């Protein structure tokens, strides 16, 4: 299968103050109109600037704010895709992803723990070709990509990145103490909004590679 064919690094948005960053509301699968009603200027600019590539049934927005310490991971530390297609809650169905395609635009603000994208295109075995029946799928792909040692690209703080559900990326550990905002817009025909407003979030461990 071919991966990492759709990654595009886009314009950089004006950076907010640390105080504004800290006050950014946290949403899970929120309708863009709910995000706009929050009155947050940075998220409104992000919605206005993000280039969604096609008309879809649903658009969802996810945001998270972290106060990181050195070594903390704000997102999954191993190579993975934001696919969201797990029939029955099982492993990601990367081979059936064409039936449940999603496109994303990412924004990370903060000078620590910026995500990395593998520079593509990458040719990797399809899931059916992997001897991974008893292992988490992304743990196996993580090892394969590490063996390939592809070039890695990271956005600057405030720089948007457009990518698809078949583009591998990973989190990196915080190099210093600091605040970090993650915001992602997802366009699909199957991931409907839930409009959850959250007051907490979590950090990730480097090991083990479980439930990816």
pLDDT at 102 over 60: yes
Cis peptide before 158 (omega within 30 of 0): no
Query: Kind and range of the H or E element at 138?
Result: helix 137-148
pLDDT digits (tens, 9 = 90+) for 6-38: 999 999 999 999 999 999 999 999 999 999 999
- 2.115.10.20, 3.40.640.10, 3.40.50.10490, 2.60.120.10: CATH of 2-194: 2.60.120.10
The sheet carrying 178-188 orders its strands as 8-12, 159-164, 102-109, 178-188, 58-68
CA distances from 181 to 25, 61, 99, 111 (A): 10, 13, 31, 10
Mean of the per-residue pLDDT values for the chain? 92
- Residues in the chain, total: 212
53 or 38, higher pLDDT? 38
Q: What is the pLDDT of residue 58?
A: 96
pLDDT at 210 over 60: no
Tell me the domain boundaries of the chain: 2-194
DSSP H helix total and E strand total for the chain: 4, 12
Q: What is the pLDDT of residue 133?
A: 61
Q: What is the pLDDT of residue 136?
A: 84
Which residue from 38, 74, 24, 23 is spatially nearest to 195, judged by alpha carbons?
A: 38
87 or 68, higher pLDDT? 68
pLDDT digits (tens, 9 = 90+) for 149-179: 999 999 999 999 999 999 999 999 999 999 9
Confidence tier at 54 by pLDDT (50, 70, 90): confident
């Amino acid at each position: 299968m071919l991966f990492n064919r759709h990654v595009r690094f886009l314009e950089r948005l004006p950076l907010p103050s640390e105080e504004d960053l800290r006050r950014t509301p946290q949403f899970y699968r929120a309708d863009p109109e709910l995000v706009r009603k929050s009155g947050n200027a940075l998220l409104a600019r992000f919605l206005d600037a993000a280039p969604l590539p096609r008309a879809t049934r649903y658009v969802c927005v996810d945001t998270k704010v972290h106060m990181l310490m050195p070594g903390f991971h704000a997102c999954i530390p191993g190579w993975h895709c934001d696919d969201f297609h797990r029939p029955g809650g099982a492993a990601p169905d990367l081979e059936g992803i064409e039936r449940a395609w999603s496109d994303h635009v990412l924004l990370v603000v903060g000078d620590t723990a910026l995500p990395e994208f593998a520079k593509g295109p990458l040719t990797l075995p399809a899931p059916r070709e992997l001897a991974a029946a008893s292992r988490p799928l992304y743990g196996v792909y993580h090892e394969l990509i590490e063996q390939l040692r592809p070039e890695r690209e990271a956005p600057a703080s405030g720089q948007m990145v457009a990518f698809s559900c078949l583009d591998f990326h990973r989190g990196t550990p915080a190099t210093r103490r600091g605040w970090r905002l993650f915001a992602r817009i997802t366009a699909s025909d199957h991931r409907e909004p839930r409009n959850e407003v959250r007051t907490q979030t979590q950090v990730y461990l480097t090991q083990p590679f479980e439930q990816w």
